[in-house]
């Protein structure tokens, strides 16, 4: 059995599975039940000046009848007084001394405000602080959350103010509602952050009811943008984590968040540079006990890989994530249809013929039976046919490793030496 414990910038937890700051970590009752179920850590629902929430806060997208592809919320930070939360944090920490409890914080971008809350929260004994610079709705209209998280100078300054007084590790939680997340991640590093966590939710409007013309959700006929999360955002989150992980000047540990629903997702985030992962939507969808499968799955995976520690996974894929210009232009994959498995639905043929490179032929065999065959020479290896094929294993993408690997950047530097002016046609 592998060692699942992780250490994120000095914050230790028995496994890498933390609950993200959100409804699942709203109270001591919930966090204690989560720890009993097996979660290794929890980032408490964001503390700050208590808010008042609206009713009708969540909505979700389904995909082909499958719930929940993406999740949208217009909830704000905690609506409970600070003292109540602190009391419950204290009780929870006393009962679970080996589990990580991190307090998420959000106040106005003023030095004295940050100093005040940091001192109060650390006085009751938390393992770390997470600065919420990410909440995209409501709080942002008051200059907090993503409003300050989108401005690198404000991220740096506020992180610095927190670090002036903080005694526990400081995690800066980043908003994805920015063009280049490494700009704010770097600002956090400059401000002295011990770790970054990402992503918070993505600006979203879940829908419009075409009968009533109301937004979804609506609050008495009016709507406002929310924050999107859940499985739909995982690729966006994973890329942002990867961009930070491979940035040479962002060299603090990362806590990965966004669409993580099972142990495989967690492994992906860890391979891409996350020290641990935080989960919200999957827990809201399926309850705390999903962590049991996550722990078992990770354990078995590490055993199969012959790894002794979960921390051995961290960042293993980062060096494989590069700029497009560093990819090998001569590497080729081509589709091959497996007639034994194909059910002749023609989906691959239509997709290639209409929207790719017209290289699947419809042929008739000696017995008059129709079948499909890829002209591999014309196939550009776009993968579309295998993406749309409904049968597992009916299309294989065959790899043809290159004899001479050559990247776009290498090609351009070669051309740079050989470029001449006007051509003369002989």
Partner 1 sequence: MHEHQLFMKEKESIDDLVDQGYKIIGIKEDLSGAHVHFDYIDHDNRSVKTKVLHVLSADARKYFTTLLFAKEKRFN
Ligand X SMILES: Cc1cc2nc3c(=O)[nH]c(=O)nc-3n(C[C@H](O)[C@H](O)[C@H](O)COP(=O)(O)O)c2cc1C
Cα separation of 305 and 300, whole Å?
Answer: 9
**Do the beta carbons of residue 148 and residue 175 sit within 8 Å?**
no
For residue 85, is the peptide bond before it cis, meaning its omega torsion is within 30 degrees of 0?
A: no
- Residues near 166 by beta carbon (within 8 Å), at least 6 away in sequence: 118, 122, 129
Cα separation of 292 and 109, whole Å?
Answer: 39
Cα separation of 149 and 172, whole Å?
Answer: 9
| Beta carbon of residue 373, minimum distance to partner 1 (angstroms, whole number) | 14
Q: What does 151 bind: ligand SF4, partner 1, ligand X, none (CB cut-off 5 to 8 Å by kind)?
A: none
**Do the beta carbons of residue 70 and residue 60 sit within 8 Å?**
yes
Sequential DSSP letters for 220-269: TTB---EEEESGGGHHHHHHHHHHHHT-TT--S-EEEESS--SHHHHHHH
Binding of residue 103 to ligand X (CB under 6 A): no
The CB density around residue 420, as the number of other CB atoms within 10 Å, is 6
Q: What does 337 bind: ligand X, ligand SF4, partner 1, none (CB cut-off 5 to 8 Å by kind)?
A: ligand SF4
| Beta carbon of residue 352, minimum distance to partner 1 (angstroms, whole number) | 13
Q: What does 144 bind: partner 1, ligand X, ligand SF4, none (CB cut-off 5 to 8 Å by kind)?
A: none
**Interaction pattern, residues 340-359, with ligand SF4; x per rule: CB under 6 A:** --xxxxxxx--xx---xx-x
Q: What are the DSSP E strand ranges found in 111-162?
A: 128-132
Binding of residue 135 to ligand X (CB under 6 A): yes
Sole binder of ligand X in the list 136, 223, 253, 259 (CB under 6 A): 259
Q: Give the binding site for partner 1 (CB under 8 A).
A: 329-330, 357-359, 375, 377-378, 404, 406, 410-411, 414-415, 418-426
**Interaction pattern, residues 271-300, with ligand X; x per rule: CB under 6 A:** --------xxxx------------------
Q: Give me the residue label for tokens 């589709």.
A: 335
DSSP state of 361: E
| Beta carbon of residue 145, minimum distance to ligand X (angstroms, whole number) | 8
Cα separation of 49 and 55, whole Å?
Answer: 19
Binding of residue 370 to ligand SF4 (CB under 6 A): no
Q: What does 45 bind: ligand SF4, ligand X, partner 1, none (CB cut-off 5 to 8 Å by kind)?
A: ligand X
**Do the beta carbons of residue 177 and residue 113 sit within 8 Å?**
no
| Beta carbon of residue 194, minimum distance to partner 1 (angstroms, whole number) | 44
Binding of residue 45 to ligand X (CB under 6 A): yes
Q: What does 20 bind: ligand X, ligand SF4, partner 1, none (CB cut-off 5 to 8 Å by kind)?
A: ligand X
Q: What does 135 bind: ligand X, ligand SF4, partner 1, none (CB cut-off 5 to 8 Å by kind)?
A: ligand X
**Which of the residues are catalytic?**
135
| Beta carbon of residue 355, minimum distance to partner 1 (angstroms, whole number) | 15
Region near ligand X per CB under 6 A, out of 10-18, 128-136, 246-254, 383-391: 128-136
Q: What does 189 bind: ligand SF4, partner 1, ligand X, none (CB cut-off 5 to 8 Å by kind)?
A: none
Query: Residues 155, 123, 126, CA angle at the centre, nearest 5°?
Result: 65
| Beta carbon of residue 379, minimum distance to ligand SF4 (angstroms, whole number) | 3
Binding of residue 382 to ligand SF4 (CB under 6 A): yes
Residue 127 to residues 275, 375, 384, 397, 401, Cα–Cα distance (Å) = 16, 60, 47, 48, 49
Token output for 187: 């600002």
**Do the beta carbons of residue 175 and residue 134 sit within 8 Å?**
yes
Token output for 57: 């806060």
Q: Which positions lie near ligand X, rule CB under 6 A? A: 20-23, 45-46, 71, 73, 75, 77, 104, 132, 134-135, 173, 200-201, 229-230, 233, 257-260, 279-282
Q: Which positions lie near ligand SF4, rule CB under 6 A? A: 335, 337, 342-348, 351-352, 356-357, 359-360, 372, 374, 379-385, 389, 391, 394-395
């Amino acid at each position: 059995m592998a060692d699942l414990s992780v250490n994120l910038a000095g914050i230790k937890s028995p496994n890498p599975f933390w609950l993200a700051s959100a409804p699942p970590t709203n109270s001591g009752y919930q966090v204690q039940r989560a720890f009993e179920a097996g979660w290794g850590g929890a980032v408490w629902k964001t503390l700050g000046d208590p808010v008042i929430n609206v009713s009708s806060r969540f909505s979700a997208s389904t995909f082909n009848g499958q719930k929940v592809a993406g999740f949208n919320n217009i909830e704000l930070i905690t609506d409970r007084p600070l003292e109540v939360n602190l009391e419950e944090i204290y009780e929870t920490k006393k009962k679970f001394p080996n589990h990580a409890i991190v307090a998420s914080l959000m106040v106005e971008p003023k030095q004295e405000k940050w100093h005040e809350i940091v001192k109060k929260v650390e006085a009751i004994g938390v393992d770390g602080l997470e600065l919420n610079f990410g909440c995209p709705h409501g709080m942002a209209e008051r200059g907090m959350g993503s409003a300050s998280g989108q401005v690198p100078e404000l991220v740096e300054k506020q992180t610095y103010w927190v670090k002036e007084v903080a005694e526990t590790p400081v995690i800066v939680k980043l908003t994805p509602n920015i063009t280049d997340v490494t700009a704010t991640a770097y600002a956090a590093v400059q401000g002295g952050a011990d770790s970054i966590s990402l992503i918070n939710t993505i600006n979203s409007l879940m829908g419009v009811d075409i009968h009533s013309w109301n937004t979804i959700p609506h609050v008495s006929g009016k709507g406002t943008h929310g924050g999107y999360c859940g499985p739909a955002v995982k690729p966006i989150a994973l890329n942002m984590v990867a961009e930070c992980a491979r940035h040479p000047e962002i060299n603090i540990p990362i806590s990965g968040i966004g669409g993580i629903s099972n142990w495989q997702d967690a492994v992906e985030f860890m391979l891409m540079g996350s020290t641990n992962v935080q989960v919200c939507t999957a827990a809201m969808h399926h309850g705390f006990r999903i962590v049991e499968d996550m722990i078992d799955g990770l354990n078995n995976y590490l055993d199969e890989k012959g790894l002794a520690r979960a921390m051995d996974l961290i960042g293993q894929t980062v060096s494989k994530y590069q700029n497009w210009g560093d990819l090998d232009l001569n590497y080729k994959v081509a589709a091959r249809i497996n007639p034994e498995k194909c059910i002749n639905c023609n989906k691959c043929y239509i997709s290639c013929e209409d929207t790719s490179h017209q290289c699947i032929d419809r042929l008739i065999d000696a017995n008059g039976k129709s079948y499909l065959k890829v002209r591999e020479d014309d196939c550009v290896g776009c993968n579309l046919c295998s993406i749309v094929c409904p049968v597992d294993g009916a299309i294989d993408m065959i790899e043809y490793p290159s004899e001479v690997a050559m990247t776009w950047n290498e090609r351009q530097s070669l051309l740079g030496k050989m470029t001449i002016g006007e051509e003369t046609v002989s």
